[in-house]
Amino acid sequence: MSIITIAEAAELSKKSQKTIRRAVAAGKLKSTKIQNKTRIDKRDFDEWLQKGCCSTEEQDKNCIRNDEVNWIDISDEWKKDGWKNKKDRNGYNFIDLFSGAGGLSCGMVMAGFNPIASVEIMPQAVETYKYNFIEQKNFKEEVETRDIRTKEVKEKLYESVKNKKVDVIVGGFPCQGFSMAGYRVVDDPRNSLYKEMKEIVEKLQPEVVVMENVEGLRSMLNGKVEEMIIDDYKKIGYEINLTVLNSANYGVPQFRKRVIFIGNRVGKKNYHPKALYNESNYVTLGEAISKFMYIPENKEINHQFTRHTEAMKKRLAAVPEGKSLYKNYSDSWKKSPWDKPSCTIKENHGGTNIHPKLARCMTARELAALQSFPDDFIFKGTKKWQLVQIGNAVPPLLGKAVGLSVKKMLDSDK
């Protein structure tokens, strides 16, 4: 019996390691665990290959429904910034569920919205949120580490906003429970977070709900997860429209695609923002981080250097732009081109994005800039947790674009 690794399967099939892992997760390609590492019987691999079962992007697209999108021009309000100027705030209130460090909240504030409550379970992210929104911007909301699944947390949330109008609820619920290997969507306990958000929306009845998630959610269970979300919200009175937005189209110096669900219960059109940038004028990696190139290390602003040996520095300097240090990695240890938007910043290897001009990895401050966070947005916790928060965040400028399209919906007549 011949056993092969994920990397070997990818090389033999001329597919990415991500494709192989997805086939394994979906149960299409048999595998086993040997010393806690995924291994594949070569006979199972050959059988899978002969069946043409590779889960390619093209096949995934066949699972995705055609979007009905109401695009709206937000360019007339793009220069406004409620994060910097109180006069640009619009009076609408929002709650952020699964807020993380506050990337989507920051974007909503940029669009003029007022945060009145947030829920997040990661202590380091809560510390970051509290520092930036409460201590620095003086928003009046109670912020603490909270588990959205508990009855006490829900009751405390409802109590904190009972005398306030909740115009919008936003949230990027985790999607790990929507298994690629089976169809028991509703019964999976990990999906409780999705159901908790829906329960809070049903209770508080905001005019608008915004949900953000990874693009891959669209093809989960052959599109059934997406259909379930639309149907579940329709049952509680919300008509949903969704599409995939690329952050680079809204001034984020990074290619980062996210599916954005927008729904309302008041009979209005759900608007998505028209692109503001394209290939001819994308904000580049170099434009975002050049200002940090020669400033000294400064822990106070999250500009903390990784310690590399001289040998590693030479190896990092030799990596061509657009390539990775290691053959079997795609985004990890990657050196994105200086004159293009960055590859997607990810929490699991955010600290290994190689600087295109300097022989080191990029700092948390530089990665935050690639996520479009304002320079005065400070991340708390150790460097490890700063990188996790940054990689998990919704880019604020993407949040701003979505927020402005929601504002135009709220401002419109029925």
Are 302 and 327 in a shared domain?
yes
In this prediction, residue 177 carries a pLDDT of 59
Render pLDDT for 99-118 as a digit per residue (tens, 0 to 9). 999 999 999 999 999 999 99
Model confidence band, residue 272 (pLDDT cutoffs 50, 70, 90): very high
Within this chain, do residues 20 and 149 fall inside the same structural domain, yes or no? no
Question: Averaged over 329-348, what is the pLDDT?
Answer: 88
Has residue 65 been placed in a domain?
Answer: no
Residues 32 and 140 in one domain: no
Which is more confident, 389 or 143? Answer: 389
Separation CA 265–CA 150 (nearest Å): 26
The pLDDT of 326-350, averaged and rounded, is: 86
Percent pLDDT > 70 in the chain is 91
- Give the confidence band of 148 by pLDDT, cuts at 50, 70, 90: very high
Q: Do 90 and 209 belong to one domain?
A: yes
Q: Residue 351 pLDDT more than 90?
A: no
* CATH number of the domain bearing residue 373: 3.90.120.10
H helix intervals, 181-323: 192-204, 224-235, 285-289, 310-318
Least confident of 87-96, 122-131, 386-395, 405-414: 405-414
3-state secondary structure of 334: strand
Indicate whether 108 and 257 sit together in one domain: yes
Catalytic positions: 175
User: Tens of pLDDT along 227-254?
Assistant: 999 999 999 999 999 999 999 999 999 9
Same domain, 406 and 369: no
Over 50: is that where the pLDDT of 302 sits?
Answer: yes
> What is the pLDDT, as a whole number, of residue 376?
97
Q: Which residue has the higher pLDDT, 169 or 34?
A: 169
Are 107 and 123 part of one and the same domain?
yes
Task: Verify that 308 and 275 share a domain, yes or no.
Answer: no
The yes-or-no verdict on residue 383 having pLDDT over 80 is yes
Q: Which CATH number goes with the domain that contains 238?
A: 3.40.50.150
Q: What is the rounded CA–CA span in Å between residue 256 and residue 258? A: 7
Residue 332: inside a domain, yes or no? yes
Q: Is residue 60 part of a domain?
A: no
Contact 289, 353 (CB under 8 A): no
In whole angstroms, what is the distance from residue 161 CA to residue 143 CA? 13
Question: pLDDT band for position 56 (50/70/90)?
Answer: very low
Residue 232: predicted pLDDT: 94
Question: Is it the case that residue 55 has pLDDT exceeding 90?
Answer: no
Domain total of the chain: 3
Decide which of 347 and 278 is more confident.
Answer: 278
* Cα→Cα distances 111→53, 75, 78, Å: 44, 12, 8
| pLDDT over threshold 70, residue 34 | yes
Residues 137 and 247 in one domain: yes
Q: Are 161 and 262 found together in one domain? A: yes
Residues 203 and 342 in one domain: no
Which residues lie across from 273 on neighbouring strands?
Answer: 72
Residue predicted with more confidence, 175 or 238: 238
pLDDT band per the 50, 70, 90 thresholds, residue 174: confident
Place 51 in a pLDDT band, splitting at 50, 70 and 90.
Answer: confident
Higher confidence at residue 213 or residue 174? 213
Classify residue 73: in a domain, yes or no. no
In this structure, the answer to whether residues 96 and 239 fall within a common structural domain is yes
Q: What is the mean pLDDT of the chain?
A: 90
Spell out the alpha helix ranges (H) of 122-191.
Answer: 123-129, 151-160
* pLDDT class of 186 with cuts at 50, 70, 90: very low
Is 131 part of a structural domain of the chain? Answer: yes
Count of residues making up the chain? 414
pLDDT exceeds cutoff 50 at 182: no
For residue 18, the enclosing domain spans 3-55
Which residues, in sequence order, are bridge partners of residue 209?
Answer: 169, 263
Pairing status of strand 257-264 against strand 208-214:
antiparallel
Residue 19's pLDDT is what?
82
Give the model's pLDDT for residue 349.
Answer: 63
**pLDDT at residue 180 in the model:** 45
